[in-house]
Amino acid sequence: MKLGTENKTKTVIAALLAVVALVLVVNAFRGGEENSAPPAAAPQSSATGARAGAPAATKPSHPLLAQTLDPTLRFDLLKSSEDITYQGSGRDIFRSQPEPPKIPIAAKPDVKPGPPTPPPPPPIDLKFYGFASRKDGFKRIFLAKGDDIFVAKEGDIVDRRYKIVHIGQNSVDVEDVLTSNHQTLPLQAG
């Protein structure tokens, strides 16, 4: 079995590259552990023109990167972030347009709801256009519904729905037996 180590120069170069890569990986993980001492402040002398009362040394305003990578929790910073409450502007961030203004609804008067009134019964669609009578007082009427003509006397049921209640000289009283609707049909001329 060949391991590819026949060419000695290639093998040496590969080994050196592996060592350099190993050193770089170790340095990448060890980078934050170095303890760096703050720079010492330079002594001030009155001969160099330093002002009286000026601070002896100035600290950098931003901490160094190695100092900010401290893994311990800072409860004071967490507490300050917990105390912040969100006070939104009232705008819905998921809508591109503002909501339309709400229309105030007027108060309805205090009306007690009663039972709903039933719809009126349909009108009787028969037309009374005449009658025939005998000398003994027996009357028959002629009723029309569309092209159909019915001949009936008092008490008869016409069109399987309408009962003839009373026959008069100029009108007839009819009852719808399905809806109990009473209607008076006048005598139609012609």
- Can you read off the two tokens belonging to residue 103? 């229309």
Question: Per residue in 80-108, is it b (16+ CB within 10 Å) or e — as a string?
Answer: eeeeeeeeeeeeeeeeeeeeeeeeeeeee
How far, in Å, CA of 80 to CA of 108, rounded? Answer: 51
Whole-model pTM: value is 0.39
List CB contacts of 50: < 8 A, sequence separation 6 or more: 44
DSSP character string of 17-53 = HHHHHHHHHHHHHHGGG---PPPPPPPP-GGGTPPTT
pLDDT at 156: 93
| Complete domains list, the chain, with CATH | 127-186 (2.30.30)
User: What single-letter amino acid sits at 32?
Assistant: G
How far, in Å, CA of 162 to CA of 128, rounded? Answer: 13
As averages over each run of 10 residues, the pLDDT of the chain (190 residues) reads 73 93 91 53 47 52 63 84 80 78 78 80 84 83 90 92 89 90 81
- Contact status, residue 63 vs residue 36, Cβ threshold 8 Å: no
pLDDT at 91: 74
